[in-house]
Structure 1
Amino acid sequence: MITRLVSSPVCWNLPRMASQTGDRAKECFERSSGIVLIKTFREIEAKYTDYLSVLAKKKIVSVGPLVQDPIHEYEKREIIEWLNNKEPSSAVFVSFVSEYFLSKEEIQEMAYGLENSMMSFIWVVRFPQGDKVSLQMALPKGFLDRVGDRGMVVEGWASQKKILEHASIGGFVSHCGWSSVMESMKFGVPIIAMLMQLDQPPNARLVEELGVGVEVKRDMDGKLEREEVAKVIREVVVEKIGEGVRIKAKELKEKIRNKGDEEIDGVVQELVQICSKKNRH
Structure 2
Amino acid sequence: MSCEQKCYKILMFPWLAHGHISPFAELAKRLIHRNFRVFLCSTPVNLEPFRKSTEEPSLEFVDLHLSSTEIPKKYHTTKNLPTHLMPTLKTALIESKENFRNVLKIIKPDILVYDFMQPWASAMASEEGISSIVLFPCGAACTSCIVHYTNQPEMEFPFESLRLSETEREKSEIINTVTNSDDNKDESLRFFGGPSASFIMVNSSNKLEGKYISYLSELVKKEVLPVGFLIQEPVQKSDDSMFVDWLSKKNTKSVVFVSFGSEYFLTKEEIEEVALGLEISGVSFIWVVRFPVGEKMGLDDALPQGFQNRVGDRGMIVEGWAPQTKILSHPSVGGFLSHCGWNSILEAVTCRVPVIAMPMQLDQPMNSRLVAEVGIGIEVQRDGEEFTREEIAKAIKKVVVEDDGKDMARNVDKLSSEVRENRDDEMNTTVSKLVQLAKG
Is the shorter-chain TM-score for this pair beyond 0.5, marking a shared fold?
yes
Q: Does 1:257 align with 2:387?
A: no
Within the candidate set 271, 284, 293, 1:107 is matched to 271
Q: Secondary structure at the match of 1:31?
A: coil
Q: C-alpha distance in 2, partners of 1:5/1:88? A: 37
Within the candidate set 390, 403, 410, 1:247 is matched to 410
Structure 1: gaps spanning 5 or more residues: none
Q: Does 1:5 align with 2:123?
A: no
Q: C-alpha distance in 2, partners of 1:73/1:29? A: 38
Within the candidate set 132, 135, 141, 2:296 is matched to 132
Q: Secondary structure at the match of 2:287?
A: strand
1:204 is displaced (CA, Å) by: 0.7
Matches for 1:131-280 after TM superposition, within 5 Å = 131-220=295-384, 222-276=385-439, 278=440
1:67 is displaced (CA, Å) by: 1.5
Measured on the aligned residues, the alpha-carbon RMSD in Å equals 1.9
Contact 2:173–2:361 under 8 Å retained in 1: no
The equivalent residue for 1:98 is: 262
The equivalent residue for 2:202 is: 38
For 1:262, the aligned partner's letter is D
Q: C-alpha distance in 1, partners of 2:262/2:252? A: 27
Q: Does 1:82 align with 2:212?
A: no
Q: Secondary structure at the match of 2:133?
A: coil
Q: Which structure has the greater CA radius of gyration?
A: 2
Query: TM-score when scaled to structure 1?
Result: 0.92
For 1:202, the aligned partner's letter is M
Single out whichever of 144-153 and 5-14 deviates more from structure 2.
5-14
The equivalent residue for 2:230 is: 66
Q: C-alpha distance in 1, partners of 2:238/2:422? A: 28
Contact 1:111–1:140 under 8 Å retained in 2: yes
Q: C-alpha distance in 2, partners of 1:84/1:97? A: 24
Within the candidate set 279, 287, 310, 1:123 is matched to 287
Q: Secondary structure at the match of 1:92?
A: strand
Q: C-alpha distance in 2, partners of 1:208/1:197? A: 17
Q: C-alpha distance in 1, partners of 2:403/2:368? A: 22
Query: TM-score when scaled to structure 2?
Result: 0.60
1:243 is displaced (CA, Å) by: 2.1
For 1:40, the aligned partner's letter is S
Relative contact order higher in (CA < 8 Å, ≥ 6 apart): 1
Residues 135/112 of structure 1: CA separation in 2 closer, same or farther (3 Å cut): same
1:2 is displaced (CA, Å) by: 3.6
1:262 is displaced (CA, Å) by: 1.6
Residues 106/210 of structure 1: CA separation in 2 closer, same or farther (3 Å cut): same
Q: C-alpha distance in 2, partners of 1:93/1:248? A: 19
Single out whichever of 148-157 and 32-41 deviates more from structure 2.
32-41
Contact 1:75–1:162 under 8 Å retained in 2: no
Residues 59/74 of structure 1: CA separation in 2 closer, same or farther (3 Å cut): farther
Q: C-alpha distance in 2, partners of 1:254/1:53? A: 25
Percent identity, aligned pairs only, is 46
Contact 1:117–1:231 under 8 Å retained in 2: yes
Q: C-alpha distance in 2, partners of 1:75/1:216? A: 32
Contact 1:73–1:162 under 8 Å retained in 2: no
Single out whichever of 89-98 and 252-261 deviates more from structure 2.
252-261
1:214 is displaced (CA, Å) by: 0.2
For 2:414, the aligned partner's letter is E
The equivalent residue for 2:16 is: none
1:20 is displaced (CA, Å) by: 3.5
Q: Secondary structure at the match of 1:5?
A: strand
Moved over 2 A (4+): 1-4, 11-28, 72-77, 272-276
CA deviations over 1:103-143 (Å, ceiling 9, x no partner): 11111110010011110000000011111012011111111
For 2:354, the aligned partner's letter is P
Structure 2: gaps spanning 5 or more residues: 1-130, 151-168
